Amino acid sequence: MCGVIGVSGVPDASRLAYLGLYALQHRGQESAGIMAVGAAHPAKLTRAMGLVADAFSESGLEALPGDAAIGHTRYSTAGSTVLANAQPFLVDYHAGALTVAHNGNLVNADVLRDELVREGAIFVSNSDTEVLIHLIARSSAPTVEGQIRDALERADGAYSLVIGVGRTLYAAVDARGFRPLFVGRVEDGLVVASETCALDLVGASNMRELQPGDFFRLHDGQLTELAPLTPRRVTRCIFELVYFSRPDSTIFGESVDRVRRELGRQLARFHPAAGADVVFSVPDSANVMALGYSEVAKIKLEHGLIRNHYVGRTFINPTQRLRVEKVKIKFNAVREVIAGKSVVVVDDSLVRGTTSKGLVKMIRAAGAREVHLRLGSPPITGPCHYGIDTPNREELIAATHSREEIRAHLGVDSLEYLSLDEMIDATSRETKWCHACFSGDYPTPVQLTLGAIPSVPELLEVAP
Ligand code: AMP
């Protein structure tokens, strides 16, 4: 998953992009980058591994002058964790500097890449986003917009994009609308960002959400709506609301806070825990879910787990060994709240079961009499091919184990999930959702993504 931001028609655009990236840090903590360009300043790019705070310095931002900028925070879902895959990508294009920042995952990237390599294209990364750049550059359409449109129509899967051609920015969302993207006004300029919380931070007004298939041009503070992409069945990602987006954002027309609260209420309505004394969340994504649960169940809400905010998300580090260690670094239990009590623990989702198992151990060690785990989403039984970092099927505990096996493995007294309908009922029924990771109902062909992504040296060996 990733966060993207674009700034057009604002002096020192890179500074605004930098600020906005702070509000998108939760969408990707592996690498960060900003490209800036101005009428008198050629496009320049800074990319670094790690957090936004570490990736840029005062002098680094000073070296990025101009009134247009594009920023990105990355959390790899396609391609490996190396600087070569950090975004934005910046290349030389016939119409000027071409910059791409991408949130999402293309499901046909491997096939397209194969074709491109056969035609002689050479790749510098193994990111699916680089495929888009080649498609744009090689399109035979007569205009820049036509070339970008061509590429977007050939790409299948999830993309919310900010593309720069010189100082002109383009914002686009794939026709299924998997990932969010917003535009707002700042002074005389415009800002595009993955979530409204980033637009809030930079003081944007007149915010609007790009709808599935929207393709906009931003230049010198002017927004032009280009013809939309070919319509497809809309499938917004429900996991954005369950887990990924920040509760202070409004995405897909819904307040994330409101939906999460309702998920918690649904849990209390349909999955009560008789005789429980207190309820608390696994912070932070489930905080308001526990609040909703407490409201309906009339059980006292407590802070039973404390999260250390100076540690990144548990899943960031992709090795099992480090993931287990990190659980302990990230959380601790509050003995005072827990000792001798029957507790309801609310979390948004269960993925591998690793974090939860560690947490339950901690909660028991803090003296809980009973532990009832409640999950604000159904069992995750399939991987996401559209940009959420869910692991392969074999690693998904609910794909290979029964509810009772998981309950015993986690060591809880009871384990309950929301059903698909109970989860969807917490959202506005008007939105059409992608819930493939829960239901197996994938809105695109997915077999195309499953091949191993070639490493760059391997690819150069096979390139003609
Ligand atoms: P686990 O117990 O190992 O299955 O981890 C469950 C925890 O991971 C929950 O607290 C979720 O909030 C969190 N989570 C769910 N999906 C993701 C994801 N794609 N990346 C990182 N964390 C996640």
Distance CA(406)–CA(248), nearest Å, equals: 32
**Pocket flag, ligand 1, residue 315 (CB < 6 Å):** yes
**Residue owning the nearest CA to atom 18 of ligand 1:** 389
Structure tokens at 111: 């096939």
Structure letter (DSSP) for residue 243: I
**Pocket flag, ligand 1, residue 317 (CB < 6 Å):** no
| 177 Rama class: left (phi>0) / alpha (psi -120 to 50) / beta | left
The β-bridge relationship of strands 215-219 and 222-225 is antiparallel
The domains of the chain, with CATH numbers, are: 3-234 (3.60.20.10), 250-437 (3.40.50.2020)
Distance CA(174)–CA(246), nearest Å, equals: 22
- Catalytic, 237? Answer no
**Pocket flag, ligand 1, residue 287 (CB < 6 Å):** no
Residue pair 201/23 in contact by the 8 Å Cβ criterion: yes
315 CA to centre of ligand 1 in angstroms? 7
Pocket test for ligand 1, best of 351, 371, 389, 395 (most atoms within 8 A of CB): 351
**Pocket flag, ligand 1, residue 401 (CB < 6 Å):** no
**Pocket flag, ligand 1, residue 160 (CB < 6 Å):** no
Atom of ligand 1 nearest to the CA of 75: 20
Position 391 scores a pLDDT of 83
CB burial readout 87-108, b (16+ within 10 A) else e: bbbbeebeebbbbbbbbbbbbb
**Pocket flag, ligand 1, residue 347 (CB < 6 Å):** yes
Pocket test for ligand 1, best of 314, 321, 362 (most atoms within 8 A of CB): 314
Pocket test for ligand 1, best of 325, 349, 396, 409 (most atoms within 8 A of CB): 349
Residue pair 376/289 in contact by the 8 Å Cβ criterion: yes
**Pocket flag, ligand 1, residue 266 (CB < 6 Å):** no
Mean pLDDT per block of 10 residues along the chain (464 residues) reads 96 98 95 97 95 93 98 82 89 97 96 95 92 97 98 98 98 98 97 98 97 98 97 98 97 98 98 98 97 98 93 52 66 97 98 95 97 98 93 93 98 98 94 97 75 45 30
DSSP-derived 3-state class of residue 4 = strand
Task: Single out the residue of 42, 10, 45 nearest to residue 31, CA to CA.
Answer: 45
Burial label for 228, CB within 10 Å (0-12, 13-18, 19+), is middle
The answer to whether the peptide bond before residue 284 is cis (omega within 30 degrees of 0) is yes
147 CA to centre of ligand 1 in angstroms? 38
